[in-house]
Amino acid sequence: MTTPTPTLAVEVMRAPRLRPAGITFGIALGIVSVMTLAAIFAPFIAPYPPDQLDFAAVNAGPSAAHWLGTDALGRDLLSRLIYGARTALLGPLLVVIGSTIIGMLLGLLAGWRGGWIDSVLGRVFDVLFAFPSLLLAIMAVALFGKGLIAPVIAMSIAYAPFVARLTRALVKAERTRPYVSAYRVQGFSGPWIALRRVLPNVTPIVGAQSTLNFGYVLAELAGLSFLGLGVQPPTPDWGAMINEAQPGIVGGFFLPAIVPAVAVVLVVVAVNIIGEELSERIGGEIPA
């Protein structure tokens, strides 16, 4: 019956936690902020309109006029990159917000109420897990046509079960803790405890996970554009830019593809570093 008290020795046995250095975290934050500002203020920052053709400089390398060179139609890559940040960041942002709200509410409901609600929701999540997010997005495009809206809605639905399952596991673990029983004994109502106390306690961990999801979604939506199923030309979009640049690669013109590719990698890496650092700092154990 006695709970073994953790001795100092046991605590010492645990190796120090590994965390990326503060500088890395700072750089990551910097990258994301710069990209966000670029997206918001694109018209004021970009040196050229994103679709302005310059036939005198087709597939040109970096120069004073075009810092990052131009593409096969002579469009300025830097300008397209800056404008492309808009769809690149907006899509994942919507998906993360949507999936987090849906997922947290359903997860809280399933984990807090348990019983048949939990069973039914669990079954629904099981079915949705069988549809990888990119597949669901492609299916949505097949049904509703190309663009950003259908895939964003589909991916919000595809990611919600992951958020929900995490929230559910956390809430279930939290619910068995004596502090929840203590609130009950003090006379607080179930919904009050669930919404005002348990939910805020699990939010940081779910939030860190959602940050990581942002990176995955960004990569997947860019992939969808790369397939020609997402954002459509001439709207500048990183995935679509790579798609358009693909024929040029065989001819040795790497820059028009590499520039947006690097942008994707940079943002995703930065977001992943932020997400990992956040979950380290929270230090919450994520139950299986």
Partner 1 sequence: MALDSSTVAVAAQNAAAANPRFGGRFTAAGLRRVAGKLGSLVLTLFLASLLVFFSRFLVPGDPVTFLLRGRKPSPEAIAQVTEQYGLDLPPWQQYLNWLVGAVQGDFGRSLQYRQDVSTVLGERLPVTLMLVVMAGLLIAIVGLSAGIVAALNRGKALDRFTLIGLTMLSAVPSFVGSIVLIAIFAVQLGWFPTFGSGEGFGDMVYHLVLPSIALAIVFVVLVGKVTRSSMVEQLDREHVEVAISRGLKRGTVIRRHVFRNALGPILTVSGILVAGLLVASTIVEAAFGLAGMGSLLVQSVDRLDFPVVQAIVMFVVTAFVVVNAIIDIAEPWIDPRSAAGAAAR
Partner 2 sequence: MSLLDISELTLDLPNGTRLLDGISLSVDAGETVGLVGESGSGKSLTARSVLGLTPDGARLGGRVELDGREVIGASAAGILDLRRHAASMIFQDPRAGINPMRTLGDHMTETLRLCEGRSKADATARAAELLASVQLPRPEEHLKQYPHEFSGGMLQRVMIAGALTSSPKLLICDEPTTALDVTTQAEIIRVLIEQRSSRGMGMLFITHDLNLAASICDRVVVMSAGRVEETGDARRVFSAPQGEYTKRLVAATPTIAAATGATGVDVIDVRAVPSIETERSDAEPMLAANGISKTYHLRGKTEVNAVVDASISIARGGALAVVGESGSGKSTLARMIVGLEQADAGDIRIAGRERTEIPRGRAARLAHARSVQMVFQDPYLSLDPRMTAGRSIEDALRLHTKLSTSDARARVLALLEQVGLGEKHAQARPRTLSGGQRQRVAIARALAIDPDVLVMDEATSALDVSVQAQVLDVLAEIRRERGLTVLFISHDLAVVRRVCEETVVMRRGRIVERGRTAALLAAPEHPYTQLLIDSVPRPDWAVDPVADQKSA
Task: Give residues in contact with partner 2 (CB under 8 A).
Answer: 1-10, 12-13, 15, 177-179, 181-189, 197, 200-201
CA dist., res. 202 & res. 245, Å (int): 44
Q: Pick from 39, 96, 141, 259: which binds partner 1 (CB under 8 A)?
A: 141
Encoded amino acid at 163, one letter: V
Residue 201 vs 272, nearer CB to partner 2:
201
Sequence-ordered list of residues with C-beta below 8 angstroms from that of 46, at least 6 positions apart, any chain: 76, 78, 79, 82, 83
- Name the 3-class secondary structure at 177: coil
CA dist., res. 99 & res. 97, Å (int): 6
Question: In the structure encoding, which two tokens stand for residue 218, read together?
Answer: 């960004």
Question: In the structure encoding, which two tokens stand for residue 20, read together?
Answer: 């990326």
- Name the 3-class secondary structure at 70: strand
Binding mask 90-129 for partner 1 (x = CB under 8 A): ---------------------------------x--xx-x
Query: Is residue 176 a contact point for partner 1 (CB under 8 A)?
Result: yes
Is residue 223 within 8 Å of residue 215, measured between CB atoms?
no
Query: Is residue 25 a contact point for partner 1 (CB under 8 A)?
Result: no
Stretch that binds partner 1, among 38-46, 102-110, 200-208, 270-278 (CB under 8 A): 270-278
Residue 13 vs 143, nearer CB to partner 2:
13
Cα-based angle 204, 268, 263 (whole degrees, multiple of 5): 145
Cα-based angle 77, 78, 79 (whole degrees, multiple of 5): 90
Q: Pick from 219, 240, 259, 274: which binds partner 1 (CB under 8 A)?
A: 219
Sequence-ordered list of residues with C-beta below 8 angstroms from that of 153, at least 6 positions apart, any chain: 98, 140
CB of 122 to partner 2, least distance (A): 15
CB of 154 to partner 2, least distance (A): 35
Residue 22 vs 200, nearer CB to partner 2:
200
Residue 48 vs 238, nearer CB to partner 1:
238
Query: Is residue 179 a contact point for partner 1 (CB under 8 A)?
Result: no
Is residue 244 within 8 Å of residue 50, measured between CB atoms?
no
Please give the residue ranges that form the binding site for partner 1 (CB under 8 A).
Answer: 1, 13-16, 18, 20, 123, 126-127, 129-132, 134-135, 138-139, 141-144, 175-176, 181, 215, 219-220, 222-223, 226-229, 239, 242, 246, 249-250, 252, 254, 257-258, 261, 264-266, 268-269, 272-273, 276, 288
